[in-house]
């Protein structure tokens, strides 16, 4: 679920832990 939210808004502390490496990919 975090991945979907990531596209619209930046990941929160909770989301960051779930995504981790993926965070950089979507951070672009």
DSSP codes, 1-28: -HHHHHHHS---HHHHHHHTHHHHHHH-
Residues 2-15: tens digit of each pLDDT: 555 555 555 555 55
- What pLDDT was estimated at residue 5? 53
- What pLDDT was estimated at residue 28? 41
- What pLDDT was estimated at residue 9? 56
Average pLDDT, the chain: 54
Rounded Cα distance between 8 and 18, Å, is 16
């Amino acid at each position: 679920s975090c991945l979907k939210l990531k596209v619209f808004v930046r990941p929160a502390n909770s989301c960051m832990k779930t995504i981790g490496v993926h965070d950089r990919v979507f951070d672009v």
